[in-house]
Structure 1
């Protein structure tokens, strides 16, 4: 307690590391522009479901960053990682933050335009 990052430490003394979500598929094939629209809608409405705007902002920055930077962002924001793919996190006050996979990675059935 009182130690920076102590809430991130698992019982065996190791820090939970962020990893990419497992491959997933959207219910229907989706274009990159549709995926971006879904992400924008999620991030615009997420703070209205509770929790701190600062934590939501940190989670968005982490979701849009590479893994090393994402780890630094959540560590410095005091985010407690429940699932290493960032789908479930908590802040230091116990507020829960759930992120859909579509804000964390692209689906396997993304339509790529040639």
Structure 2
């Protein structure tokens, strides 16, 4: 039983996620080009090391809203080093680095239409 003013313990894996900071790609991208880059990354991500299940959880988290993404990474046991998900670890210490283009859209995305 804790004191009235005590706070619940938050371990390192419980770091609260936040939206990535705005970023700009070296060249303007169309939505189709951005999708292709993302698909290529996720298709090759398991070859960078780590567990496929963690890569799958990270992909699901990047495609979800923040509260659901938080639940996904917490449930998968992902240790979030950078709260924007650019750097994470699994419980075995394997490193997972995510490029900004899988986390959000660039500021210089070319609108369709």
Give TM-score, length-normalised by structure 2: 0.89
Please report the RMSD computed on the Cα atoms of aligned residues, expressed in angstroms. Answer: 1.0
State the match for 1:48 in structure 2. 47
Q: Mapping of 1:35-114 within 5 angstroms?
A: 35-114=34-113
Gaps of 5+ in 2: 1-9
Gaps of 5+ in 1: 9-14
Give TM-score, length-normalised by structure 1: 0.88
Moved over 3 A (4+): none
**How many residue pairs end up in the alignment?**
104
CA distance in 1 between counterparts of 2:105 and 2:17 reads 17
